[in-house]
Amino acid sequence: MTSPAGITRRAAILAGFGGAGALIWNADKLTLSPSFSHVFRAVEDWTCTSQRMLLRPGQLAKEYSREDISPVFKPNGTFNPGGEEYDTHVAQGFANWRLKIDGLVQRPMSLSIAELRLLPSRTQITRHDCVEGWTAIGMWTGVQLGLLLKAAGLTSDARYAVFHCADNLDGEPAKGGEQSPGQYYESIDLVDAFHPQTLVAYDLNGKPLGVPNGAPLRLRVERQLGYKQAKYLRRIEIANSFRTIAGGYGGYWEDRGYEWYAGI
């Protein structure tokens, strides 16, 4: 091997292995480094872009048959939001619970559970995939979110639906030093908001939703993971951006390092 080429190649090999070694050795530090988080964000954006390229906007998540329904639909996160207000609603059978739709809409709305039940409904047997790895299959009945949003009339600058929930998950610290309040919230963009399987669900397996699974209302976004399926829905805020809401990443778990796009 001639020496100039040899030196260059040797340098390249050493640099490659040095870089790989540094990456392995510093994996813990890099995990926590704010500057390296940009790399992870770029990967997330790329995953979202590539899945959105492959997915037609209305393409449905697989629907299952009744035989496939899980015997137990595992609850996770909050099992009971508790507190005087929520307990009162439970005692009243959620007769006075209201779902507000406001923000960038022409006609803000406030709907009771009874009013939602009078609207056209959709029933679907779908898979709930928790980010942790487990899966539960359940039959959901509810109102298509798109129907509600059409009734409310979005303004031209509307880009996201932000879901505010009644449960507070204190105790899980937010990442990056910035403390986000423990109130659960989530957000999706309009592609998923108007997807035919995106529901404001009130029934699970033919019965009114139980407290551990999100009574009285739970969001279903079937092409994304479990943490997007916000429980105990109180308010849907239509927004142009979620940067100013809570921790600024578009959801309770997103503020704690999880991906906003939860399609994988």
Site string for another protein, 173-192 (x = CB under 8 A): --x-----------------
* Contacting range for another protein; rule: CB under 8 A; set: 28-36, 139-147, 162-170, 244-252: 28-36
Name 165's bridge partners: 233
Q: How far is the CB of 45 from another protein (least distance, A)?
A: 11
Name 110's bridge partners: 100
Of 146, 103, 80, the closest CA to residue 245 belongs to 103
Taking CB under 8 A as the rule, does residue 122 contact another protein? no
SS3 77: coil
Residue 188 near residue 221 (C-beta atoms within 8 A): yes
What distance in Å separates the CA atoms of residue 250 and residue 235, rounded to the nearest whole number?
15
* Contacting range for another protein; rule: CB under 8 A; set: 102-110, 132-140, 199-207, 209-217: 132-140
Q: Binding to another protein (CB under 8 A): which residues in 195-224?
A: 222-224
Taking CB under 8 A as the rule, does residue 79 contact another protein? no
Q: How far is the CB of 102 from another protein (least distance, A)?
A: 29
DSSP character at residue 181: P
User: What does the buried/exposed string (b/e) look like for 229-244 if buried means 16 or more CB atoms within 10 Å of the residue's CB?
Assistant: bbbbbbbbbbbeebee
Q: Between residues 87 and 132, which has the closer beta carbon with respect to another protein?
A: 132
Site string for another protein, 39-78 (x = CB under 8 A): xx--xx-xx---x--xx---xxxx-x---x-xxx-x----
Q: Between residues 31 and 88, which has the closer beta carbon with respect to another protein?
A: 31
* The one among 7, 8, 11, 13 contacting another protein by CB under 8 A: 13
What distance in Å separates the CA atoms of residue 194 and residue 184, rounded to the nearest whole number?
22
SS3 245: coil
